[in-house]
A = this chain, B = another copy of it.
Amino acid sequence: MSVTDTAPSPLVVTAPPERFFGYYPGTVAVVTAAHGGDRNVMSAGWHAALSAEPPLYGVAFGRERYTYGLVRASNAFAVHFLPFERADAIAGAGSLSRHDGVDKFEHLGLATSTGRVLDVPILHDAYLAYECLVDAVHTTGDHDFVVGSVVAVHHRPDAFDERRLQDGARVPGVVYYGRSTFEALGSGARGEFTPERYRERR
């Protein structure tokens, strides 16, 4: 059928996959939740917008994550995007665990306010934050995929242009490559933030 199907593929194939790789580089979401006087923050590499009207945003949570317990108990969470200058906090939110008793907000210097609509911590360092009410939870293999209804959007005005497109020249976003390696959008500047860095600082 294809005009090009006769050429051999230059790609190496593994089937079944010996290892599932390649889903990075990608942006990292920083997710917060609170319940009954407790709160937490985590980073999430697996996340996506799902619908524009109504606005829906999805995050894949490891079921063992402390934050996920707060999400299920409160039925709410907030999704944030932080600029490259806070890549250290994005990495730290993924390396430290509330299960070890640490207050990650304090430890990482993350100032917060309470959400406008929901009782969720909103990070002041974010250039974008969504307040999300849990709309559905789908078990997907070793994670739960949580669909959130976006009930409020917070943004840092200077991080967006007049069309509300993210202005990477002024406020560079960040992508994660895996293995503690982060890169600034716009310049390609890199930073490595290993888990040891955060554990030593405690």
Task: Tell me if A168 and B160 are in contact (CB < 8 A).
Answer: no
Task: Tell me if B22 and A54 are in contact (CB < 8 A).
Answer: no
> What is the copy number of this chain in the assembly?
2
* Chain B residues, Cβ within 8 Å of A166: 22, 24-25, 177-178
* Chain B residues, Cβ within 8 Å of A56: 140-141
* Chain B residues, Cβ within 8 Å of A12: 154-157
Is the C-beta of A8 less than 8 angstroms from some C-beta in chain B? Answer: yes
Task: Tell me if A20 and B168 are in contact (CB < 8 A).
Answer: no
User: Which residue from chain B places its CB closest to the CB of A44 in the assembled complex?
Assistant: B48
* Chain B residues, Cβ within 8 Å of A25: 27, 166, 168, 173, 185
- A154–B16 Cα gap in the complex (Å)? 11
User: Which residue from chain B places its CB closest to the CB of A147 in the assembled complex?
Assistant: B140
Write the residues of chain A forming the contact surface with B, with a CB cutoff of 8 angstroms: 1-5, 7-17, 19-27, 37, 39, 45-58, 60, 81, 105-106, 110-114, 116-117, 121-122, 124, 126, 128-131, 136, 138, 140-143, 145, 147, 150-157, 160, 163-166, 168, 173, 175, 177-179, 181, 183, 185-188
Told that A4-B112, A51-B60 touch, could you supply 18 new A-B pairs with CB distance under 8 A? A4-B105, A4-B106, A5-B112, A7-B111, A11-B122, A14-B152, A16-B151, A19-B164, A21-B164, A22-B128, A22-B160, A23-B57, A25-B173, A51-B140, A55-B141, A56-B140, A56-B141, A58-B140
